[in-house]
Amino acid sequence: MTEIRPRHRRRLTAPAAVAVCTALVGTSALLTQATASPAEQVPVGAGSYTTELPPGASGPSDVTGAPVTPKVTPDFDQPVTTNEWWSSLIFQRYPDNPYGENLHAHPMTFKAQASGMEIGHSPTHQIVGEANKYEYGHSADLVLGVEGLNAPSARVAGYGDWTVTAELADGTRTLRTTIGQGLPFAYADVSGAAATAQFTSAPQVWHDDGAIVGVTVGDSHYALFAPSSISWQHSGSTFTAAGAEYVSVALLPEPADLATFAPYAHSFVTGSELTYDYDPEAATLTSTYAVTTEAREGSQTGTLLALYPHHWKETTTELTDLRYASPRGPMRVVDGDRFVTELTTQGILPSLPTVDEADHDRLRSMIDAEINADDPWKGAVDTYWTGKALGRLAQLVPIADSIGYTAGRDALLDLLKSRLENWLTADGAGDDAQFYYDATWDTLIGYPSSFGADQELNDHDFHYGYFVTAAATIARYDRSWIADEQWGDMITTVLTDANNPDRDDQRFPWLRSFSAYAGHGWASGHAGFAAGNNQESSSEAMHFAASTAVLGSIMGNEQIRDLGVYMHTTQASAMSRYWQNSDGDAFPDDFAHDVVGMVWGDGGDYRIWWDGTDEEHYGINYLPITAGSLYLGYDPAHAAAMYASLVDRLGREPETWREIHWAQRALSDGDAALAAFEAQWQSYEPESGSSKAHTYQWVSTLAALGQVDTSVTADSAHYAVFVDGGERTHVAFNPGTAPRTVTFSDGVSLTVEPGQLATS
């Protein structure tokens, strides 16, 4: 079994979490707060952040608590990024390991060591962890290095959107290796001595013409390429290319494929970049994945690229017959330096309409129960639990408005404004909640922190997505609040730390929390695990994306809107495949689970970061339920199968997080979900980010309107279509300041007032 380093966070369920968080505030020096002096404040509109670490708090650290700095070369000149598949190269989490952990790039795997870069490939999987995890682990087939190299550490020389260049140097000899997701080549620049490729076991040599060597090790086939004027010399299991300033290594599907790979041996990948184009009129997201290449010899440019299933099943680019095995299912290969995918963009609503069939008086009393609670925040003090509370209360605002309960709506907005403004101001007021900018790591950290968001830079999109939701909700009803000179610039600063759409903004890296090639985010800032990086709550990442799209539209900021649409549309395509095996080819046949709680670099694991129930293993990728969660019902038959799978596993109906599962069930059977709620609504305790009012509105609306209908689109980023017995209901939201008409692809048009929903 692959060793997994100690887990990076343990999410708790309320009320236990509240008790633990409260205890931490009282006992842990890491959460001690103090008022920063005025000289340390950076004003941002009406808000501010501090540039000095709060006394007693910790920033990025190793496992001993000692501060760490990015491991980069002197010529590194980009914003420091984290939360990547390769982040253990730049973030040294373990004092005894300056080289980083296993790097699961797919189809190849890597690990840096003193003498060079290990290269491997796992064409087959193992079932481990009491049959809860499948993994395609890293096992070195060879070490690509420089003769005599003894580097004290690995450092990052530069990175692209899904590629990285790692340097191993000892003052005399240097190896710089460029590797990446989807790259079947590893490209190396060498200096100081001869390039070497040392195999971990005796290779079977089946091709040797001097500059090109073909070998098989176990079940994997490799080609070694040197400049055409230089020959590889073979001694035992070691090949040496004396005088070579560069070499490359290719992983071949079969030995017969050597002729396909050889033309690209000297076409070195020097960068990788994603561009996306959202066309609201056509309801289409077009994404272009491109690499830049440099011909080190001759004039051949371009390369071969291996595509994940969410790529090749949606691509408009011609595929070859080449294939690789991977933890995400079969990878297909394109010949060239780019490929294009096209996805239909389903709308992202800020809220669902409230139907007449719902008991509006009961909704009002449920809302009052939240407003008048002894503590509407349920003891929350840190970024995550405060965020959950902000999200819970924000979901009630449009419900109150929809039933004409204006006083309740405004009371909720006052609660949101008070708490959010306190967090967005680093002046020591209230509970000393504040944001701190770490210029060493190019990141914004909220304090008090939790779940490693400070020391490990974990989960920023999970936490901050709730802040963005609250801000978008306030802005929907109070446009002046979101003005740049008020709170707009500060909430945008929080948002862009988690995922920055602006490549020219040097404060934060581009898309910290979203992996462009993987199609989803990575939760760990340091990726310090033998299994690679991990993503547990894909649904909280989807929540960030949805709230980003809505906030961007309300602010009139198309760059932010399009970022949200891109992330939401792309991850919806990846999530059902990689967490729920919706296509049937991601999970191995002998993996006995229908879902995974976490996707890892090397596979998938049914387990989660705490000893949760089966309901939590499924539900961690559903919550929080918002109008941005309709993607869970894009395929109603699949949604029904997921609910049936959980019930079959339990041998009963869900009890833990039951309202989360009622909400998921409503996407396939609204009547059954509503009946379950009606039978138990007075006796159950909601999950901490949920409320009875929101669950009731959700299930009653879907019981009345039916299932999500993805066959109809609209010329807006914010719409949904439902179908019940052949009758469609069209819903649209207008984020602008003037009435607009939204036109659907089936010919229906809706005139929508500013800040309002309209329903056919």
Burial of 665 (0-12, 13-18, 19+ CB in 10 A): buried
| 11: Cβ contacts below 8 Å, ≥ 6 apart | 17, 384, 451, 608, 609, 610, 620
Element at 700 (helix H, strand E): helix 692-705
CA distance linking residue 713 with residue 348, whole number of Å = 11
**What angle do the packed helices 538-555 and 460-477 form, to 10 degrees?**
30
Q: Which two tokens stand for residue 602?
A: 């090397």
CA distance 377 to 364: 19
Q: Which residues of 673-710 are buried (b: 16+ CB within 10 A; e: fewer)?
A: bbebbeeebeebebbbbbbbbbbbbbbbbbbbbbbbbb
d(CA 212, CA 533): 34
Q: How many CB atoms within 10 Å of residue 321?
A: 9
DSSP 396-427: HHHHHHHTT-HHHHHHHHHHHHHHHHHHT--S
**Bridge partners for 295 per DSSP:** 267
Nearest residue to 575 via CA among 512, 621, 522, 641: 621
Nearest to 101 by CA among 393, 597, 529: 529
Cβ pair 539, 547 in contact under 8 A? no
Could you tell me the end-to-end alpha-carbon distance of the chain, in angstroms, rounded to an integer?
55
Print the SS3 string covering 507-547: CCCECCCEECCCCEECCCCCCCCCCCCEECCHHHHHHHHHH
Catalytic one among 84, 257, 459, 635?
459
Which 8-state DSSP code applies to residue 719? Answer: E
Residue 254 annotated in active site: no
3-state DSSP helix/strand/coil percent for the chain, to nearest 5? 30, 25, 45
Task: Provide the 10 A C-beta neighbour count for residue 504.
Answer: 6
Active site residue 540: yes
> The tokens 């004039």 sit on which residue?
299
CA distance 343 to 520: 15
* Annotated catalytic residue, options 84, 147, 461, 536: 536
Question: Which CA distances in Å does 219 have to 215, 222, 588?
Answer: 11, 10, 18
52 carries an active-site annotation: no
The residues, ordered by sequence, that sit 6+ positions from 325 with a Cβ below 8 Å of its Cβ are 107, 122, 123, 124, 136, 331
Catalytic site residue from 135, 456, 540, 635: 540
Q: How far apart are CA 96 and CA 385, in angstroms?
A: 34
**Catalytically annotated residues:** 459, 536, 540
